[in-house]
Amino acid sequence: MKRAMRTLSDAEVKDNFSAVLDDVAQGTEVAITRDGKEVARLIPSEAPRLSREEFLRNAAEIRARQPLNRSRAEDLVREDRDR
């Protein structure tokens, strides 16, 4: 999906910064110019792919599929050290 693009001078961005950020948050890319030359771009941050709840649910499902390791920590350390 191609994003909308605006070109503004540095003075326009400075005078309307909050409104420019609102536009960027809605998906508009903003090219910032100084003396007619592009010097920077503001682009929207990528939205998280999963909500917090979806992430936690997925993590719980993954954790539930993992086998439990019933070894004691000191045995694991000793085994690793003796390799």
The answer to whether position 10 is within a domain reads: yes
In tens, the pLDDT along 15-48 reads 999 999 999 988 899 999 999 999 999 998 876 6
Per-residue pLDDT at 83 exceeds 80: yes
The answer to whether position 59 is within a domain reads: yes
Cα–Cα distance, 83 to 80 (Å, whole number): 6
How many domains is the chain partitioned into structurally?
2
Is the same domain home to 10 and 35?
yes
The answer to whether position 47 is within a domain reads: no
- Contact in structure between 25 and 19 (CB atoms under 8 Å): no
- Contact in structure between 33 and 8 (CB atoms under 8 Å): yes
Is the same domain home to 38 and 64?
no
- 71 pLDDT band, cuts 50/70/90, is confident
Supply the range of the domain harboring residue 25: 5-42
- 57 pLDDT band, cuts 50/70/90, is very high
> pTM here?
0.53
